[in-house]
Structure 1
Amino acid sequence: MRQIGLVIKTEGNRAWVKMQKGASCGEEHCPLSSSLIDDSQDDFYTVCAINSVGAKSGDQVMVEVEDLFLLRTAFMIYILPILAGILSYALLNYFLKIPSLTYTGTFLSVGIIAILLKRADRKLNFPYRIVELGTASVCISCPLKNRNEQQKLKP
Structure 2
Amino acid sequence: MDDFGLVHKKSTFNDIGGFNESIISGQDLDLLIRFGLEKTVVFNPAITCYYDKTVQNSLSKENHQESKYMLFNSFKDEEKNNSSLHLYLTLNRYSLAIQCKRAKNKTTLKKLLPEIDTSLLNWKQRLLLHTPSSLVILLKKIHLFLISKGVYISSYK
TM-score by length of 2: 0.22
Bigger relative contact order (CA 8 A; separation at least 6): 1
Higher share in helix: 2
